[in-house]
Amino acid sequence: MKLRSMLLAASVAALGAQGALAEGKVKVGMITTLSGGGAGLGIDVRDGFMLATKMAGNADLELVVEDDQRKPDIAVQLADKMIQSEKVDVLTGIIWSNLAMAVVPAATAQGKFYLSPNAGPSALAGKGCNKLYFNIAWQNDNLHEAAGAYANDAGYRNSFILAPNYPAGKDALTGYKRMYEGELAGEVYTELGQTDYAAEIAQIRASGADSVFFFLPGGMGISFLKQYANSGVELPVVGPAFSFDQGILQAVGEAALGIKNTSQWSKDIDNEANQTFVEEFQAEYGRLPSLYASQGYDTANLLLSAMEKADVSDQEAFQKALEAAEFDSVRGKFKFGANHHPVQDYYVREVVKEGDVFTNKIVATSLTDHADAYVSECKM
């Protein structure tokens, strides 16, 4: 189902679906997950992006949104349609790394900018980097690297680690192991979309581990945490924000309390841009923003900042305007590395309960001004 921003589409309605936008205008195609498993993630990216455009009041941007249904073939079809029929200038929105790998290389090969609000596979950060591809969230390994660094500080020496068997899952365990200095009691790849973790929890119980690290985004994390809490296994758990994000925590409930997780964003980061974002998001949508919403919001504001400096038809100038990243990020300081991935701080958060709402608070900084491990392989 196609959604159009009512605030933005009116300015270009007369141009027709086949026609290019007038000079100075930018047409954005957002392909994201709006149905089925993981829909909450795509909805939050979309809502964060649309909030930023509404607040900016920039009538030179048109947004077209489509649901990829979390299927690579659907995502490819939508990208082809947006590029060839909709004549978009910029693509964005993909949540899942396997979908990003199916869409991004083809989109950039056709001369389209791609701004990633989430997926950051290692293949696109290193040798597969591209001058038209920018990641505004992180490279996939980063939050897991921060978790590995935290595990060292916490004194963990024998972690059991698990993640789904797809590109982001492999990047996750690679990232944790890159920073973690202890031994591994076990390393398991689960099925993508798996909901029953009885076998994995039994392995954890028998492993002799002193801690558990897992990356299971969306519904996978909800299932694992509930089953783990009911299993009687009492080993400390650490993970990235994806399994402890705002939307997920309400479904997990008490089982998540006290768990440490790593993120480049939190609602309690103390800067004006973040405070405004949290307040405006709650006012607009009636819920606290998630990590994904913050990434959608920053993606839109990066794009809007580039539009103020250059015309998208001048590809080189627009690329430089994006590289400058002259916008007020909800994260505070923000810059791109040479491979167009963020160099930023990563925090340790603890799950707490504020009134009736489960949420996170920052308790430490894990990594400062941290770049990804693949930037040296990027030759743009």
pLDDT of residue 248: 85
Question: What are the backbone angles phi and psi of residue 132, rounded to the nearest 5°?
Answer: -95, 0
CA distance 162 to 284: 37
CA distance 376 to 373: 8
pLDDT of residue 24: 73
Q: Scanning the structure block, which residue is given the tokens 């990563």?
A: 346
pLDDT of residue 23: 61
pLDDT of residue 241: 93
Tell me the pLDDT tens digit for each residue of 329-342: 999 999 999 999 99
CA distance 182 to 292: 31
Contacts of 212 (CB under 8 A, 6+ apart): 159, 160, 161, 162, 204, 228, 235, 236, 237, 238
Token pair of 89 as six digits: 């200038």
Where are the extended beta strands (E) located within the chain? 3-4, 26-32, 61-67, 90-92, 113-116, 133-135, 158-164, 183-190, 211-214, 237-240, 260-263, 335-336, 342-354, 357-370
> Helix or strand or coil: residue 52?
helix
pLDDT of residue 38: 84
Token pair of 277 as six digits: 């974002």
Q: Where are the alpha helices (DSSP H) in 208-339?
A: 219-229, 246-252, 272-285, 291-307, 315-324
pLDDT, one tens digit for every residue, the chain (380 residues)? 333 343 344 333 333 333 344 467 999 999 999 999 789 999 999 999 999 999 999 889 999 999 999 999 999 999 999 999 999 999 999 999 999 999 999 999 999 999 999 999 999 999 999 999 999 999 999 999 999 999 999 999 999 999 999 999 999 999 999 999 999 999 999 999 899 999 999 999 999 999 999 999 888 999 999 999 999 999 999 999 988 988 889 889 999 999 999 999 999 999 999 999 999 999 999 999 999 999 999 999 999 999 999 999 999 999 999 999 999 999 999 999 999 999 999 999 999 999 999 999 999 999 999 999 999 999 98
The dihedral sign for the CA sequence 196, 200, 204, 206: positive
Question: The whole model's pTM is what?
Answer: 0.90
